[in-house]
Structures are given as structure tokens and as C-alpha cells.
Amino acid sequence: MSIRPWRDITRRTSRQIMVGTVPVGGGAPVTVQTMTNTPTSDAKATIDQIRRCEEAGADIIRVSCPDVESTAAFRQITRAAKVPIVADIHFHYKRALEAADAGAACLRINPGNIGSSDRVAEVVRAAKANGCAIRIGVNAGSLEKDLLEKYGEPCPEALVESALDHIKLLQDHDFHEYKVAVKASDVFLAVSAYMGLAEAVDCPLHLGITEAGGLIGGTVKSAIGIGNLLWAGIGDTIRVSLSAEPEEEVRVGYEILKSLGIRTRGVRVVSCPSCARQGFDVIRTVEKLEDRLRHISTPMSLSVLGCVVNGPGEARETDIGITGGGNGKHMVYLSGVTDHHVQDADMIEHIVKLVEAKAAEIEAANATAQQAAE
């Protein structure tokens, strides 16, 4: 029995596939993806953006390959990347063949969109020969005409049927290393489609609310849609689609996972919205700390509370805490216990140093434990 059964999430059982060196499904950690928005033909710009996404914690990165110039640069890109790279292919099956040969860990395609069964067979052969997985990407905005005529509009049943049709095309060629997405910009439509698909198939599912919007609006929509599905145990890999820099997608993705206790990375900040009781400027302090602590990947918690109403209680549950006091003198908690005070002017630098030291301590303990286990 779990100590806190009200926090338990029972994940849907799915097959596991490999995207390069990263396992997806089958009980593997839920992975976070993003997609570059630089011209893929500009290898340097694309690699630079990939590096920023890797630093933010991306597990898998997708790159669009719309033309020959893109796939020509793709080999250089995959060799420079530290994480698996997915080639995004739409209608041109030859781009899939080129990308597979150039080091793609996965091909994002809709098999029904690339032409005849012979062309699908060619893509499957290239994927098998190069150890590529395939991601079937169904989107409410680009459903097949026959399904739109059958259902009258994009609906959950139409998205699921499209996915099953594409799956059959791969299975007919004895290909089973695939994952599937049924995305929509409508949260209700996407969630319902994913729930229907989760009951119909055993393959890993790639979650996303497509065309979600800007940083704030898109984050809210994605958190509601992806969060609901993850809470229900559905989903093996996620991509938060934002009209923002891709590294922001990665950060939001991790925040969704952290809020559900599914996966942790970096500093989890617990902070109050602030009010007239605050002993320091909570909002600006949190902004500065989040920016200064982005380089910390070690999972840990930090509470930043403006006054003693909830400050001590929250600090008891976090690794490091600070609670606002009077006359610019604030209480610092270590492992839930009051340890010392810090003056307002020194607070930011002091907390950053404490977090960095705690992260180093945790990493050293983890390394020791791993050595002992070996």
C-alpha cells in the first residue's frame, strides 16, 4: 500500500520502443520532447538551438525535414546532438529515406500521406535498416477527407480511426516499433481521442495539445490536457506545443510532470502569491531565483514565502526555505528546520549558494550509493 494513496497514478501498460538510446513506454520514465524552429538547412543555427534544449533537459528533439537541403544538413545535426533526433516528415517519402540514412532515431510520418503501399514499404525498410522508430502523428487539422466526410467534423472517433488506419499500414509491413499521437488544439477533443486510443492499442502514446498558443495560454491548455491524461495514467512521452522558444516547451513539460510527481528535474519552487504581510518582494525574488537556478538539474525543493503565516509550514516540507521576517531580516530553513537568518540585501546570492551546495551534496550521495550498488 502507498503511504499517500491519494497521490498514486497507475500508468497504462504499453509496449516499449526505443527512440535511439531512449526507451519510450513499457514503464520507462515519461520523456519530454520539443521541436526546433530554425531552418534545418542552417545546421549551425539548428545545432545551437538543440544545445539550448538539451541544457533545459530535453530527452528527444524533433527537427522538420521539408526539403532536400534539410536532409542534407541532417547528418551533421544528428552527429552533433547529444539526444535522439526525430525527423519530421509529411508528404515526401524520399525525405524519410534520406533522414533514416542520415541518423534519425525516429521518423514522424503519417503512412497514409506518403503515397502507395510500395512507398510505405520503402520507408519501413529504411527504418528497419537504420534502427529507426516511427511516430504516427494524427492531427485534427489535417484529417483525411474521407474521415471528414464520414464524421462531418474532427471528432474523437475520427482521430482514433485515422490512427488505427495508419497503424495497420505499418503492421501490414511487419513494423511494430511505433508510437502514436492524436493531437488537437481543442483540449476536450484531444483528451477524448487519447482516451479512446489508449483503450484500442498497446503501443506507446505521444501526448500533446497542438497549436496550444503562446507561452501563458499554451501552457495552461497543455497543462490541463496533458495533465489530465497523465493523471489518468495515459502517456509515455510529451511535447508542449507553444508559440515560444523550444527550451520553454521543455521547461513547461517538466513542470507538468513535476506537479504530478511523475518526474523531477531541477529546483521545484514553492512560493506564495504575496500580500501586504510580505517581508520582502516575493514576486521579484522568485523571478530572480528561477533565472539564477536554471542550471541546476538535481531534483530538490525550495520554498519562498513572504511571511510567517504559511512560511514555516511550507519550509518543513522543502530542502531549503526562506520566510520573510521584519526589518529586512529573514529566516532560512535547511531540511525543514530553522537554521539561520539572512539580510534582505544578501538574500538572492545566499539562497543560490545554498541551493548549489545542496545539489552538490545530493549528487555526491547519489554517486556514493551507485558505487556501493555496483
pLDDT for position 322: 97
**H helix or E strand, kind and range, residue 225:** helix 215-231
Q: Residue 26 in contact with residue 52, Cβ under 8 Å? A: no
pLDDT for position 325: 93
What the block records as the C-alpha cell of 335 is 531540511
Question: Could you tell me where the beta strands, DSSP code E, fall in the chain?
Answer: 17-19, 22-24, 31-35, 60-64, 85-88, 106-109, 133-139, 178-183, 206-207, 237-239, 267-271, 300-305, 320-323, 329-334, 337-343
Per-residue pLDDT of 124-169, as tens digits, reads 999 999 999 999 999 999 899 999 999 999 999 999 999 999 999 9
pLDDT for position 188: 98
Question: Residue ranges of the chain with pLDDT lower than 50?
Answer: none
pLDDT for position 1: 53
